[in-house]
Copies of this chain bind each other. A is one copy, B any other.
Amino acid sequence: MTDNNIREFDDEIPEKKLKILEAAIKVFSEKGFEGSRTSEIAKEANVAEGTIFKYFKTKKDILLSLLLPLTLKFIKPFAMKSAEKILNKGKDEPVDEVLKNLLLDILHLVKKNMPLVKTVVIESLYHEELLVPIKEKLAPQVLELLDGYVNYHKEKGDFKDYDTRFITRTIMSMLLGYVVLSSAFPEFFSLDEEEKEIENIVNVLINGIKNGGV
């Protein structure tokens, strides 16, 4: 792999530990946490099994140390970049342009890190220790960002008078639905039309599917 995402942020982490983390993400995403063997992770990382336990107290410790890099080093800069785009420049650009770009940004971030995202999302359904940081650190960041944008346009009268949080949820829902469906059933989606698909999703979000005077 020429560009790797964890490496971009964690320069100070020792090489072998990185290798192990990368291998763990790969194996976890393919087999699930409980279905993964430390032996396989070691093999995948080109490391002795014992080395894993020099860096991680237990297998579960590998899983739990996945989330900090995710939240702090990988979501935060993205959120800041997006916040700037949306809240400053974006405020007076057309809504559909801004939303399209935002969703495309999120989508690319998620796709680029699919194994990590898949693992964190799924395992958080079984391990409280993972779910709590997501709820406390990750979700609020994204929600506040979107809420702010939605509120701005609600106050300007651009949006209907739905509850702000409802609109935010709907935006997230539509993207989430697309991500899940397109990963689970890739044969229903053509890869080269991803941008068109997001464009359509944003159009539906803004104008609906009803044929009225357009």
Size of the chain A interface, CB-CB below 8 angstroms: 51
Determine if A209 and B162 form an interchain contact, defined as CB atoms under 8 angstroms apart: yes
Where the two chains meet, the residues of A that have a C-beta atom closer than 8 Å to any C-beta of B are 30-35, 95, 118, 122, 124-126, 131, 135, 139, 157-162, 165-167, 169-170, 172-178, 180-181, 184-185, 188, 197, 200-201, 204-212, 214
This protein's copies in its complex: 2
Determine if B169 and A209 form an interchain contact, defined as CB atoms under 8 angstroms apart: no
Complex interface: chain B residues within 8 A of A188 (CB) = 165, 169
Determine if B160 and A211 form an interchain contact, defined as CB atoms under 8 angstroms apart: yes
Query: Which 7 pairs between the two chains have the least Cβ-Cβ distance?
Result: A173-B177, A34-B34, A208-B208, A207-B208, A34-B35, A177-B177, A176-B177
Tell me what chain A mostly uses at the interface: helix, strand, loop, or mixed. Answer: helix
Determine if B207 and A159 form an interchain contact, defined as CB atoms under 8 angstroms apart: no
Complex interface: chain B residues within 8 A of A118 (CB) = 125
Closest B residue to A187 by CB, please name it: B135
| 15 contacting pairs across A/B (C-beta < 8 A) | A33-B35, A34-B35, A122-B125, A157-B211, A160-B207, A160-B210, A162-B209, A165-B188, A166-B197, A166-B200, A170-B201, A173-B173, A173-B174, A173-B177, A177-B177
